[in-house]
């Protein structure tokens, strides 16, 4: 689904959904996975990086519940998941609270008339820029070439985000990747670094 103006007020402010110590000065770096599905990537990352905190954001209640169950089963204290719309969630989070935002295989909405529903557009980039710390990373991954081109175009209008020069980490697969492993799926990765504070759109 796209960036519907779904209020998160029914869920409380997203700041309330994060453990309070996660937002305190000196807290471990926060990573956000927007559209985390059933949490495969989120949980693998939380296991791999116990010294970092992970917030998953997912629209669908059933997937959120499945992710929560996995987090509980593994006794993870550095992962939480919120049922929320991704753009609204970022807009509800405090400024400069995150080191990484991952957007992995967002719904491509390939029909031209549906393109407006895509999550990654100017307003989303602006919200991501606000939430990222300086030098924080926004990682956009899609297998849809047309969406990748549209993402690149949107980024061109965003002076506060530049292609990251730093070496990328090796990441665990997501549910989507696992499902299509073995098939010829191109992967377009756009890794962007927050280069200035202030507004993102030039």
Which residues would be at the binding site for ligand SAM (CB under 6 A)? 1, 3, 34-35, 37, 57-60, 63, 85-86, 104-107, 119, 174-176
Nearer to ligand SAM, 86 or 136 (CB): 86
Q: Which is nearer to ligand SAM, 115 or 197 (CB)?
A: 115
As measured in angstroms, the least distance from the Cβ of 58 to ligand SAM is 5
State whether residue 54 is helix, strand or coil.
Answer: strand
- Least separation in angstroms between residue 179's CB and ligand SAM is 8
Structure tokens belonging to residue 132:
């990222």
Handedness of CA 17, 155, 185, 4 (dihedral sign): positive
| C-beta nearest to ligand SAM: residue | 35
Q: Which two tokens stand for residue 39?
A: 């949490």
The CA distance from 148 to 143, in Å, is 8
Q: Name the residue nearer to ligand SAM (CB basis): 159 or 188.
A: 188
Token digits of residue 26: 């000196």
Catalytic residue among 16, 33, 44, 107: 107
Q: Is 107 a catalytic residue?
A: yes
- CB of 165: closest distance to ligand SAM in angstroms? 25
What is the signed CA dihedral for 157, 160, 162, 167, rounded to 10 degrees? -150
Three-state DSSP state, 31: strand
User: Hey, which residues are catalytic here?
Assistant: 107
């Amino acid at each position: 689904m796209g960036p519907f103006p779904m209020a998160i007020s029914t869920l409380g402010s997203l700041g309330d959904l994060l453990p309070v110590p996660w937002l305190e000065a000196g807290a471990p770096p926060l990573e956000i996975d927007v559209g985390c599905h059933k949490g495969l990537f989120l949980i693998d990352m939380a296991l791999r990086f116990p010294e970092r905190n992970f917030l998953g954001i997912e629209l669908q209640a059933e997937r959120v519940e499945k992710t929560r169950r996995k987090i509980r089963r593994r006794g993870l204290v550095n992962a939480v998941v919120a049922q929320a719309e991704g753009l609204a969630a970022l807009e509800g989070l405090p400024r400069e609270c995150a080191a990484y935002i991952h957007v992995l295989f967002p719904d491509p909405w390939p029909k031209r008339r549906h393109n407006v529903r895509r999550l990654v557009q100017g307003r989303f980039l602006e919200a991501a820029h606000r939430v990222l710390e300086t030098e924080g990373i926004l990682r956009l991954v899609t297998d849809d070439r047309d969406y990748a081109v549209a993402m690149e175009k949107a980024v061109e209008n965003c002076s506060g985000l530049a292609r990251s020069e730093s070496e990328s980490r090796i990441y665990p697969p997501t549910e989507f990747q696992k499902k299509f492993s073995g098939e010829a799926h191109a992967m377009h990765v756009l890794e962007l670094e927050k280069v200035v504070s202030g507004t993102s759109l030039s």
